[in-house]
């Protein structure tokens, strides 16, 4: 087993770090307070080929094949260097839950019309799955798609939609036959200027405040047949396939953020003196930092394993659930430990770890809560 990083991946990592260090820096504390999304960064990232990493040429990607391991390492590098977790969630939400389903299930025409503008940063796409009464039990969704001449009429409400207020294209899951349950669900690419689609107001939230969320409501919203992604009834498969990418790729940035946090915690523990010595010399502090390192390394191995499985054409539902659970819970715990290390300073906005803690909570909820990941893992273990 070879754990070394290939030279072309090492190059990609340093390119990403250089890019993020020069272009993705500003006063995140201030933007977090006002809940402001950095739209100029979105375009800079697209020019740098970041959204294109979840596509292939000629649809805005730089090569004819995905390089998932390279993409994970690149996003990890972004998370290490760019402090805006909300912005990274926005990028990842579009890339892995909108672009990948179009890449895998779209027609050539759909890839040209929808994937290319997303991968090149011209448009913003959102994944519209959750509903007010369908969260963890997602396939009990009540949004309907009724067949009419030339297309479908969509009716229903989608909730907690990352980037909802800024969306140009929504990948909407809806049932063409509620009686069929999960087998009645289909996926639709809905342009958000379609009559009958309305965006709700921006939802105020605890963390990830730099990316706006909203509801999307569809009332007799007409979607032409050519905008259906895949065949009727394959929404369940599309959803499952994208969730596997979602569960590993969405969190790669958080791995990078944990590495940055660890460096800061070590530096703080070396410099802060109490009782005549650096606090890092107290075992209570140093052991806490040792645990932070352990969580990072175990998360990293799981993440790279999923990327490797997917790159080699293997399904990895167990590994994807394991990494989602381990990485999201680790970021939460490490954020709390970083605050403990910094004492009262860690509680202040300017030290930026209180924001990490608020941002980390979203990770244990989206793409299936930690309880749901444990359900998946235990089911796949035959329980």
Residue 155 near ligand FAD by CB under 6 A: no
What's the closest the beta carbon of residue 13 comes to ligand FAD, in angstroms?
26
| Contact flag: residue 51 with ligand FAD (CB under 6 A) | no
Determine if 369 is a binding residue for ligand FAD (CB under 6 A).
yes
Using CB under 6 A as the binding rule, whether residue 335 contacts ligand FAD is answered as no
When asked if residue 209 is in the footprint of ligand FAD (CB under 6 A), the reply is no
Closest CB to ligand FAD among residues 13, 124? 124
Q: In the complex with ligand FAD, which residue's Cβ is closer, 130 or 176?
A: 130
161 binds ligand FAD (CB under 6 A): yes
**What is the x/- site pattern for ligand FAD, positions 119-138, by CB under 6 A?**
-------xxxxx----xx--
Q: How far is the CB of 371 from ligand FAD (least distance, A)?
A: 3
Stretch that binds ligand FAD, among 65-73, 231-239, 313-321, 366-374 (CB under 6 A): 366-374
Q: How far is the CB of 257 from ligand FAD (least distance, A)?
A: 15
Q: Is residue 154 within the footprint of ligand FAD (CB under 6 A)? A: no
Choice from 95, 362, 373, 376 touching ligand FAD (CB under 6 A): 362
Binding status of residue 343 toward ligand FAD by CB under 6 A: no
Three-state SS string over the chain comes to CCCCCCHHHHHHHHHHHHHHHHHCCCCHHHHHHHCCCCHHHHHHHHHCCCHHHHCCCCCCCCCCCCCHHHHHHHHHHHHHHCCCHHHHHHHHHHHHHHHHHHHHHCCHHHHHHHHHHHHCCCCCEEEECCECCECCCHHHCCCEEEEECCEEEEEEEEEEEECHHHCCEEEEEEECCHHHHHHHEEEEEEECCCCCEEECCCCCCCCCCCCCEEEEEEEEEEEEHHHEECCCCCHHHHHHHHHHHHHHHCCHHHHHHHHHHHHHHHHHHHHCEECCEEHHHCHHHHHHHHHHHHHHHHHHHHHHHHHHHHHCCCCCHHHHHHHHHHHHHHHHHHHHHHHHHHHHHHHCHHHCHHHHHHHHHHHCCCCCCHHHHHHHHHHHCCC
**Site residues (vs ligand FAD, CB under 6 A):** 93, 126-130, 135-136, 160-162, 208, 362, 365-369, 371-372, 375
């Amino acid at each position: 087993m070879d754990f070394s990083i290939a030279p072309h991946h090492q190059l990609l990592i340093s390119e990403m770090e250089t890019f993020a260090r020069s272009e993705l820096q500003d006063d995140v504390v201030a933007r977090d307070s006002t809940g402001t999304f950095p739209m100029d960064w979105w375009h800079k990232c697209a020019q740098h080929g970041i959204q294109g990493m979840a596509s292939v040429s000629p649809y805005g990607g730089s090569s004819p094949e995905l390089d998932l391991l390279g993409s994970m390492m690149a996003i990890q590098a972004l998370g290490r260097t760019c402090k805006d977790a909300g912005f990274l969630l926005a990028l990842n939400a579009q890339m892995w839950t909108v672009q990948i389903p179009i890449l895998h299930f779209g027609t050539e025409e759909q890839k040209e019309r929808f994937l290319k503008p997303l991968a090149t940063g011209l448009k913003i796409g959102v994944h519209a799955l959750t509903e007010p009464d369908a969260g963890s039990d997602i396939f009990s969704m009540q949004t309907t798609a009724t067949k009419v001449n030339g297309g479908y009429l969509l009716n229903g409400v989608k909730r907690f939609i990352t980037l909802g207020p800024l969306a140009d294209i929504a990948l909407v899951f809806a049932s063409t036959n509620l009686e069929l349950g999960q087998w009645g669900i289909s996926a639709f690419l809905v342009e958000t200027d379609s009559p009958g689609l309305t965006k709700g107001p921006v939802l105020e939230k605890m963390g990830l405040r730099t990316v706006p969320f909203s509801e999307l409501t569809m009332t007799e919203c007409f979607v032409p047949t050519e905008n259906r992604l895949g065949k009727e009834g394959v929404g369940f498969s599309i959803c499952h396939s994208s969730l596997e990418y979602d569960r590993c790729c969405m969190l790669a940035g958080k791995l990078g953020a944990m590495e940055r946090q660890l460096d800061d915690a070590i530096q703080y523990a070396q410099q802060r003196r109490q009782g005549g010595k650096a606090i890092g010399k107290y075992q209570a502090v140093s052991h806490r930092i040792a645990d932070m390192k352990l969580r990072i390394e175990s998360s990293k191995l799981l993440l790279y394993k999923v990327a490797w499985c997917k790159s080699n054409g293997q399904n990895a539902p167990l590994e994807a659930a394991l990494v989602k659970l381990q990485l999201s819970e680790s970021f939460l715990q490490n954020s709390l430990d970083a605050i403990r290390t910094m004492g009262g300073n860690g509680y202040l906005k300017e030290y930026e770890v209180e924001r990490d803690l608020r941002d980390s909570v979203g990770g244990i909820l989206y793409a299936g809560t930690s309880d749901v990941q444990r359900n998946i893992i235990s089911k796949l273990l035959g329980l």
